[in-house]
Amino acid sequence: MALRIVFMGTPDFAIPALVALIGQGHEVVACYCQPSRPAGRGMEMRKSPVHEKAQEFGIPVFTPVSLKGEAEQQIFADHDADLAVVVAYGLLLPQVVLDAPRLGCYNIHASLLPRWRGAAPIQRAIMAGDAETGVTIMKMEAGLDTGPMALVERASIGPDMTAGELHDELSRLGGDLIVRAVSALERDLLALTPQPEAGVTYAAKIDKTESRIDWLRPAVEVHNHIRGLSPFPGAWCEIGEKRERVKILRSTLSEGFGAPGTVLDDQLAVACGSGAVRLTRLQRAGKKPVDVDEFLRGARLEKGTVLS
């Protein structure tokens, strides 16, 4: 039996779930996304990835700035949905909205709840050095990612994996998992388990002020910081006498020691507070990302140079 579903999501992370639900024959009666925003060099108004994908399928798209008003809540109720699926939507859902679909609202969250509730679970897991994360399907309630869990799938985090790579893996996993959850829900076989009270952590939104590399930190922390912020917003440091700002998009742990921030060899190993990291992919302002060999052809950084 196909369900009437309202899909609520904004970034490209949500697209595999939308496509998977449509592929299973469910009727997505409406998509809710964040409003179009200026983007790119020309700062032209740009629709979100989910908005564009929904239009490809001919699904009506709604972009309210809030769901707190009675008019927007009535529009939502009028969809007469069996279920709402929420993936990185970006707006809090009032209780009246949570209660509107016959079977409730289910969220695809990119962590193993209750660890990393909140806005940036992928980046925070890597920055904290976690070896494992995953996807949780959760029935939503008024609290921030506090609802009971339906399905969980685990995923390992490789030692050099970036946030971008983990994002793509968990996005695909979320699409598969929501299809399984909805199938079980249709047959009244979806069991819900309360989240444990122990182990709660919060994944605060990434602030650009925390993206500068602190070479005084141990190498493993610097490495996790770099890969946790790659590709966006990108960890950065300043290079050379002109203090050119360069984004560091990939690194790996290396051997060596020296004063923090000092280049240790001709392949861009850099000393940290303890240990060293080797920078393997970099991006100068206004340029495309390049691997270290190509970067060094255009920016001579000899042994002993200090990065700040």
pLDDT of residue 37: 81
Distance CA 93, CA 180 (A): 24
Distance CA 149, CA 157 (A): 22
Distance CA 25, CA 242 (A): 58
- Given pLDDT bands bounded at 50, 70 and 90, which one contains residue 42? low
pLDDT of residue 302: 86
Give the mean pLDDT of 43-67. 94
- 103 has a pLDDT exceeding 80: yes
pLDDT in tens, 60-97: 999 999 999 999 999 999 999 999 999 999 898 999 99
Give the mean pLDDT of 239-262. 93
Give the mean pLDDT of 294-303. 87
pLDDT of residue 99: 97
- 118 has a pLDDT exceeding 90: yes
- 250 has a pLDDT exceeding 90: yes
pLDDT of residue 301: 84
pLDDT in tens, 144-165: 899 999 999 999 999 999 999 9
Q: Tell the CATH superfamily of the 208-298 domain.
A: Formyl transferase, C-terminal domain (3.10.25.10)
pLDDT of residue 243: 86
Give the mean pLDDT of 246-272. 96
Task: Look up the CATH number of domain 4-202.
Answer: 3.40.50.170
Distance CA 244, CA 236 (A): 10
* Coil vs helix vs strand at 191: coil
Distance CA 243, CA 228 (A): 24
Query: Which of 223 and 285 is assigned the larger pLDDT?
Result: 223
pLDDT of residue 40: 66
- 38 has a pLDDT exceeding 80: no
Give the mean pLDDT of 256-279. 96
Residue type, 201: T
Question: What does the domain layout of the chain look like in residue ranges?
Answer: 4-202, 208-298
pLDDT of residue 240: 78
pLDDT of residue 208: 87
Query: Checking DSSP bridges between strand 149-156 and strand 132-139, what pairing results, if any?
Result: antiparallel
